[in-house]
Amino acid sequence: MNELEKENVKSRRQKKILELIRRQPIKTQTMLKEYLGPEGIHVTQATLSRDIREMNLIKGVNGEGYIQSGIISKHQISHRLFVLFSMAVRAVEQSGNVVVITCEPGMAASVCSFIDELGWNEIVGTIAGNNTIFVITREGTSYQLAEQFRNISS
């Protein structure tokens, strides 16, 4: 199978995954794999995990199963945010439902203001000090948000 065919198969599979999670609650990868089978789509667990990550799927907080995250892709975020993040952000760490962003001294409030303007549903609230920002996230979203912030700052 050439690269174009692989991309077509992947695109079809991911489109079907979105259809399935919108139709009924799918709470596990195993359930998702079982629903894909009758659709003629047979995947390994590793491929399914990769698809879930690439599609920004997260488990809903109320046990409703997988949902598509509201986090927007890198190319849709303001150029000003990239410039500010690349100049100001030193490190991004994640623990539990908190993302900690370390900034250059005096820059945390500016970066935090931009984060607040994003309006991401995954963010419950933010607190900024002189050089540190605490981003409190909804359950199950902090790892994905930390990765997003790392991507913006690099």
What CATH number does domain 74-153 carry, 3.30.1360.40, 1.20.120.10, 3.40.50.720, 3.40.50.300?
3.30.1360.40
Q: Would you state the pLDDT for residue 78?
A: 60
Report the C-alpha gap between 94 and 145 in whole angstroms. Answer: 9
All CATH 1.10.10.10 domain ranges in the chain, comma separated: 3-68
Q: Which pLDDT score is estimated for 72?
A: 54
Q: Which residues of the chain have pLDDT under 50?
A: 74-75
In angstroms, the first-to-last Cα distance of the chain is 34
Res 82: pLDDT: 74
3-state helix, strand, coil in the chain (%, to 5): 50, 20, 30
pLDDT at 79: 66
For residue 7, the model assigns a pLDDT of 79
Which residues are 67's β-sheet partners? 58
Total residue count of the chain as it appears in this document: 154
Of 89, 78, 110, 79, nearest in space to 154 by CA: 89
Query: What is the fold, at CATH topology level, of the domain defined by 3-68?
Result: Arc Repressor Mutant, subunit A (1.10.10)
- pLDDT at residue number 127: 96
Count the neighbouring beta carbons within 10 Å of the beta carbon of residue 15.
11
* pLDDT value for 118: 78
Residue among 134, 74, 71, 143 at smallest CA distance from 108:
134
